Amino acid sequence: MTQVRKALIMGVDGQDGSYLADLLLSKEYEVIGWIPSAISVSYENIDHILDRLTIVEGDFQDQEGLFNLLEFHQPDELYNFAAPSSPSSSWEDLVYKSDVMVLGVARLLEAIRLKSPHTKFYQASSSELFGEPVEVPQNENTPFNPRNPYGIAKLYAHWLTVNYRKEYKLFTVSGILFNHESPRRGFQYVTRKISQGAVEIKLGLRDELLLGNLDAKRDWGYAKDYVEAMWLMLQQNDPDDYVIGTGKTHSVGEFCETAFNYLGLDYKDHVKVSKEFYRAEENKQLVADNTKAREQLNWEPEVSFLNLVHMMVENDYKLMQDLPEKSRLPGGGE
């Protein structure tokens, strides 16, 4: 009889954690989903699979609790998404967020080393490691140059992951992922702000949408495609790090144009630019060179930018139509 593989997903309630849980359940894994005990979380992304998950709560500042978690469950694979995921807000409450993103990963790696050394570990790194990139596009050999506390903390966690692999011979990998979106994206992100805002304007719930720099460009892909790459990293014979992205960039203005056009609207009639939403590092050219992932993982993104935007707009349109009239408030939220 084939032994059922067991995976532990830290931050199962988020966009990436929930899509990964879907994927692993489809592959007949036993999935344990970790959520923070000190923070209120939404189960919306995992409601459809909640009866198939084992949910555990914990604290990334609790070393003993992480020891007990790994010792009890002995997962074959562990995926870490348990960190604040907004670079622009990483200047706020910096000490706590840095503790979770930096020392939290150190505590987790120590728990694996001491309590479950056979566990394969995936660390969610970020294109924010490159910050102001020294070359375009960026690959696994591009020097890191982070420009915000989020990128700095992610860099520390990235190097911890690399060095635990080298020092202790653990199977630890980092996925250096570029921007990836979906209908499960939080409303605080510009892509979801656009898709929801376009729908609300179409439904007559607002007249305009305030955004920052429309010329800012990003390498945007589909989150469901990207969790497939994460899983593939842990199926290799040897652990390594991979850049994951589409290799193509689109501007915020293009995202707006695509979203509004899909609803028969012209974004120029409704989108207003506000300096309030400008970010200091908006002009960076972050774009992935995914050659290594294509050649070694046999991975390529499947969903195009156009289809991704349409998918997000369709989802928000359905959500807004399903809401009672009195609940259709502009802006949305989590």
Instruction: Report the CATH number at residue 76.
Output: 3.40.50.720
Q: Which residue has the tokens 């501007």?
A: 251
* 167-220 pLDDT tens trace: 999 999 999 999 999 999 999 899 999 999 999 999 999 999 999 999 999 999
Q: Show the tokens assigned to 140.
A: 């696994």
Say whether pLDDT at 31 is over 50. yes
Task: Please check whether residues 207 and 113 belong to one and the same domain.
Answer: no
> Given this model, what pLDDT does residue 280 score?
60
The reply to whether 40 falls in a domain is: yes
Q: What are phi and psi of 57, to 5 degrees?
A: -115, 155
The reply to whether 116 falls in a domain is: yes
* 146-159 pLDDT tens trace: 999 999 999 999 99
Is-catalytic flag, 88?
A: no
Is-catalytic flag, 128?
A: yes
The reply to whether 290 falls in a domain is: no
One-letter amino acid at 89 equals: S
Domain, as residue range, for 73: 6-180+221-244
Task: Please check whether residues 228 and 254 belong to one and the same domain.
Answer: no
Bond into 137 cis (ω within 30): yes
Task: Please check whether residues 76 and 175 belong to one and the same domain.
Answer: yes
Q: What pairing do the DSSP bridges indicate for beta strands 209-211 and 271-273?
A: parallel
> 69-78, 147-156, 264-273, 321-330: which has the minimum mean pLDDT?
321-330
Task: Please check whether residues 215 and 114 belong to one and the same domain.
Answer: no
Task: Please check whether residues 82 and 155 belong to one and the same domain.
Answer: yes
Q: Show the tokens assigned to 195.
A: 């898709």
Q: d(Cα 268, Cα 143) in Å, to the nearest integer? A: 38
| Sign for the pseudo-dihedral over CA of 106, 111, 117, 120 | negative
The reply to whether 323 falls in a domain is: yes
Residues in the chain: 334
Burial class (CB in 10 A: 0-12, 13-18, 19+), 276: exposed
What's the mean per-residue pLDDT of the chain?
A: 92
Catalytic residue among 98, 122, 128, 242: 128
- Of 140, 145, 139, 180, the residue nearest 288 (C-alpha): 139
User: What does DSSP assign to residue 288?
Assistant: B
Q: pLDDT class for 326, splitting at 50, 70, 90?
A: very low
Task: Please check whether residues 85 and 106 belong to one and the same domain.
Answer: yes
The pairs formed by 90-94 with CB atoms below 8 angstroms and a separation of 24 or more are: 90/148, 90/149, 90/150, 90/153, 91/148, 91/149, 94/149
Q: What CATH number does the domain containing 319 carry?
A: 3.90.25.10
* 258-294 pLDDT tens trace: 999 999 999 999 999 987 777 665 557 999 999 999 9
**Number of domains composing the chain:** 2
Catalytic residue among 85, 98, 116, 126: 126
Is-catalytic flag, 317?
A: no
